[in-house]
Structure 1
Amino acid sequence: MTPSYLGKIRSYYARLSEKEKKIANYILDNPDKIIHCTINEVAEDLNVADATVFRFCKRLGFKGYQAMKIALASEVVTPMKHIHEEISDQDNEKAISEKIFKSNIRTLENTLQILDYNSLQKAVQLIQEADRVEFYGTGGSVVVAIDAFHKFIRSGVKAFAFPDSHFQLMSASQLTKNDVAVVISHTGTNNDTIKILNTAIESGAKTIGITSFPKSPISQNVDVALYTSSDETEYRSEALASRIAQLSLIDALYVNLMILNKDKAKNSLEKVRNAISETRI
């Protein structure tokens, strides 16, 4: 799948410093101009150092400014339709449905572009070594936490999730240094979720965070942070779109763990299937 490099800049935007946002705005507003400019010309236009522009390119995963120019040129010269179109109240059912599906696809593409596989590996390892894994989320994120429990309970992991934030807080207080708390929050700033995280940390548990903002309190305080990326439109919130990416990250953790523990996972799945089939008799 061909990545959208302008889309990648948009997906990183909330995580950028003020100087980096200045460069990002310049590129987003002048993609055609950028491919004909040198790094010195861009730096001079923005009144920043060449090194600042270079670091910005590296931040996006390019080897340097020239590599970014080449990537942008392939996109600008053969323009891709911006699939994350705004939904209009004039749209019919077909147009609205297509825009929603394309928006969800874009959310997954953007999240995949920023996914740190070293962090993913560390998260899998923490879950692999844990005696107990608890998934926490409040508001819309509680749905993701319950889905995670539904998956991981089939893997042989001692997984738990509670829909009520007070139950989550009590449970977090009982964790130990051998346990892992997975905290899910789009903004990373929800007070209830932060309190649950702090309680888990005080209990000595290892922590994994799934959020969209690296500078949020949750991102800054977990042992391993995994990030999602999504855009907001008039009729769909960024948090709602990010939930799809959160579910996909949970799925990636689950499948990686299942592959690491093939025999244990197979036996656990068999037990679950037998228990469910017996209730249907």
Structure 2
Amino acid sequence: MNILEKITQQLDDFSKSEKKVADAIMAAPQTAIHSSIAALAKIADVSEPTVNRFCRRLDTKGFPDFKLHLAQSLANTTTYVHRQLDENDSPESYIAKTFESSMACLSRAQNSLDPQQVNRAVNMLTQAKQLSFFGLGASSAVAHDATNKFFRFSLPVQCFDDPVMMRMSAANSSPDQVFVLISYTGRTKALVEIAHLARQKGALVLGLTAKDSPLANAASMVLSMDIPNDVDLHLPMASRLTQMVLIDVLATGFILRRGNVFIENLQKVKEGIKNSQFDSP
């Protein structure tokens, strides 16, 4: 466990002053690395002994040793930086927290993604005669985004975020269809039922969901990413962001698999809608 993960794990155990130090470090870890103990104490509005006490609580030998561990953590930054929001956060602070948390989450998700499994998923998509993207709640936005991307690939695509319409579509499915079911937790009963129903009809089901979840177990194939299970306010944003990037990955793989002729066709589509936009200044 690296130092950032230790800070996240021990947040509830810190004193009020120590939490100030933790918040200052998590708000700008790069700044903390290059700060003196006096500078960090001033940023956190605490005393220098408090900073030293905070460092020793994390099993480091003091502030210099803590900075070394922090630098090592950032050099291998596949971790999700927990950014506690506070009602007194300035715009600069909550902007930084949102962006830094999202970027750390994307990095962690990327490193957890299996390229071979992505390749198999692209194979499945390119062989389909029709694609269906289903998602509920925050994942419904991802399903609609996927539909918008794959619609331009000259392939029948549908999207539903209503469980009844999903069930009707699955009940009428055939072996040449692929259903892409999107769920962060993979524990939504309606989607699990849809997966079973579609597979009973011979269709393939690609689950973009958590590993070993009920939906993962019901799907024909699964693409899972390590997305932190956090209860902070930005969780739906982080999970939706990583899901949308995964859709972009699959769409890119789809385009490359179809070859240059397909890419030229996409360029024609782009030219065809050019007149719907005002010219750039």
SS, match of residue 150 in structure 1: helix
- Indicate yes or no: 2:207 matched with 1:214: no
Match of 1:247 in 2: 244
Give distance in 2, aligned partners of 1:187 and 1:75. 36
- Preserved contact between residue 142 and residue 244 of structure 2 (Cα < 8 Å): yes
SS, match of residue 255 in structure 1: helix
TM-score by length of 1: 0.68
Following superposition, the deviation at residue 79 of structure 1 comes to 4.8
* Identity between Structure 1 and Structure 2 (%): 24
- Indicate yes or no: 2:166 matched with 1:168: yes
Match of 1:78 in 2: 71
Aligned counterparts, 1:112-131, within 5 A: 112-131=110-129
- Preserved contact between residue 115 and residue 226 of structure 1 (Cα < 8 Å): yes
- Preserved contact between residue 6 and residue 58 of structure 2 (Cα < 8 Å): no
Match of 1:153 in 2: 151
- For 1:125, give the aligned amino acid: N
**Aligned to 2:178, which of 180, 185, 210?**
180
Relative to structure 1, is the Cα distance of residues 233 and 191 closer, same or farther in structure 2, using a 3 angstrom cutoff? closer
Relative to structure 1, is the Cα distance of residues 113 and 9 closer, same or farther in structure 2, using a 3 angstrom cutoff? farther
Relative to structure 1, is the Cα distance of residues 101 and 138 closer, same or farther in structure 2, using a 3 angstrom cutoff? same
Deviation per residue, 1:151-207 (Å, 9 max, x gap): 011122322212322222211222211111111011101111112212211111111
Give distance in 2, aligned partners of 1:173 and 1:9. 48
- Preserved contact between residue 156 and residue 265 of structure 1 (Cα < 8 Å): no
SS, match of residue 154 in structure 1: helix
TM-score by length of 2: 0.68
Match of 2:253 in 1: 256
Unmatched runs of 5 consecutive residues or more in structure 1: 11-28, 34-73
Match of 1:100 in 2: 98
- Preserved contact between residue 3 and residue 58 of structure 2 (Cα < 8 Å): no
Following superposition, the deviation at residue 126 of structure 1 comes to 0.2
SS, match of residue 160 in structure 1: strand
Following superposition, the deviation at residue 80 of structure 1 comes to 4.2
Instruction: Give the number of equivalent residue pairs.
Output: 218
Higher relative CO (CA 8 A, sep ≥ 6), structure 1 or 2? 1
RMSD: 3.1
Structure whose alpha-carbon radius of gyration is higher: 2
Relative to structure 1, is the Cα distance of residues 76 and 196 closer, same or farther in structure 2, using a 3 angstrom cutoff? same
- For 2:135, give the aligned amino acid: G
- Preserved contact between residue 179 and residue 204 of structure 2 (Cα < 8 Å): yes
Give distance in 1, aligned partners of 2:6 and 2:115. 19
SS, match of residue 183 in structure 1: strand
Relative to structure 1, is the Cα distance of residues 195 and 85 closer, same or farther in structure 2, using a 3 angstrom cutoff? same
Unmatched runs of 5 consecutive residues or more in structure 2: 8-56, 62-66, 75-79
